[in-house]
Structure 1
């Protein structure tokens, strides 16, 4: 079963999480987020688009059967708030709150202040390799090309990453479900500061969609992440995502647990 089939399944409430999307002992968080959004969408008015998504990774999501439960907390004239819970063997493994909103008239318009980084063309940068048994399983599906910053576990003095991302094999279409799945592909920015392999995982992830993410399925998206602070085994990061045409389309924030 490929990504598209899993996303389509999740919209029905029952999904089989496939092998090959692992990240340590858990399933890749981006896929978890994409499945939860897929479950939400049938319950949301067509005119409303995803504005903000907050995901809490409660427990490792394992390959196998999962159930997505959706509760529409409120649906008004413009805004709809939706809670989705992914369960395995009856226990919650991930919870997401989605805020959807239809466009409305407003006198306020503020252009994005964050400028896209000046990156070398993606074709000139080698992607992170996928090496079975050494790199995360999901690397075989997602492509990251690091333009600035350090590689994971390289003992770097930096804590930022700039680069490009896309699917290695383009899906048949590309919509908000695919975008959510893709955006979380980068490793925690702080693990580049470690000189040996130590686990690190996202505890919470908030994604704010600020512009249309419609694009060709094989589009390279520009990504830039900075570490705001890290102390006591927890790091807090702030990232931006740009469409190749230069539009800022998303803001991504994470709280990361680092075991090392």
Structure 2
């Protein structure tokens, strides 16, 4: 079962999480977020199709390959905004939860351009993608292409804690919308783990993705990415990232709290 099939299946309330999307002992968090978003959007009030404004995912326990069920609650649906909660369950346990806000455009006199411009990056195809090495890199690397322009690879003992580069799916889906963007946006490793000199366990606790522009695009679009580490201490790191369409439009802000052992 490929990504598109999983996303469509999740909209029915049940989904089989496919093998090959692992990240350590858990399923890759972007896929988890994409599946829950798909389930939630399918339950929005009939006749409405507002864009996603924000989704916060809590990774409660490792999501493993196999059957999973979603439970969606529409908390409130007003004239412009709709908020919903979705949980992902495997067996008797909740393994992930997400709170999302959808909001239709409204008239406003406010307009503030992002203070963070898209970085100057080499053309994507001039940078070799991070390799997929079975048994050495996360399984989901076989599905996601990341081209690192600045920063260092994980566990390289670097002095830096930032990354910039390009990302897209190795095999383009038939279409590309919010579901696919969420499934792609979490692909980069936590930027801080490049400072470790050897592999150590780590995982995301929470992930918030805020969409500030339309993310519908050509399926093979390269998206620009930049992340820096705001703070790291006592086994937790807090990162802040921006994602741009290649035309320079800021489309998303991504924030994570990551637990790091090492």
The TM-score range, normalised by the shorter chain, is over 0.9
Report the counterpart of residue 4 of structure 1 in structure 2: 4
**Residue deviations 1:40-75, cap 9 Å, x none?**
111225331100000000000000000011000000
Distance in 2 (alpha carbons) for counterparts of 1:66 and 1:42 = 16
Runs of 4+ in 1 over 4 A off after TM superposition: none
Per-residue deviation at 1:107? 1.3
Report the counterpart of residue 29 of structure 1 in structure 2: 29
- 3-state DSSP class of the match of 1:127? coil
Distance in 1 (alpha carbons) for counterparts of 2:195 and 2:67 = 36
TM-score (normalised: structure 1): 0.99
Distance in 2 (alpha carbons) for counterparts of 1:76 and 1:90 = 33
Gaps of 5+ in 2: none
Aligned counterpart for 1:101 among listed residues 100, 103, 113:
103
Report the counterpart of residue 114 of structure 1 in structure 2: 116
Distance in 2 (alpha carbons) for counterparts of 1:234 and 1:91 = 25
Distance in 2 (alpha carbons) for counterparts of 1:256 and 1:101 = 28
Aligned counterpart for 1:61 among listed residues 63, 67, 70:
63
Per-residue deviation at 1:112? 1.7
Report the counterpart of residue 42 of structure 2 in structure 1: 42
**Residue deviations 1:200-235, cap 9 Å, x none?**
110000000000001100000000000000000000
Gaps of 5+ in 1: none
The answer to whether the 8 A contact 1:48-1:102 is kept is: yes
Distance in 2 (alpha carbons) for counterparts of 1:110 and 1:159 = 28
> 1:205 and 2:213 equivalent?
no
The answer to whether the 8 A contact 1:53-1:207 is kept is: yes
Where do 1:159-238 residues align within 5 Å? Answer: 159-238=161-240
Report the counterpart of residue 14 of structure 1 in structure 2: 14
Report the counterpart of residue 146 of structure 2 in structure 1: 144
Per-residue deviation at 1:91? 0.9
Report the counterpart of residue 83 of structure 1 in structure 2: 85
Per-residue deviation at 1:251? 0.1
- 3-state DSSP class of the match of 2:172? coil
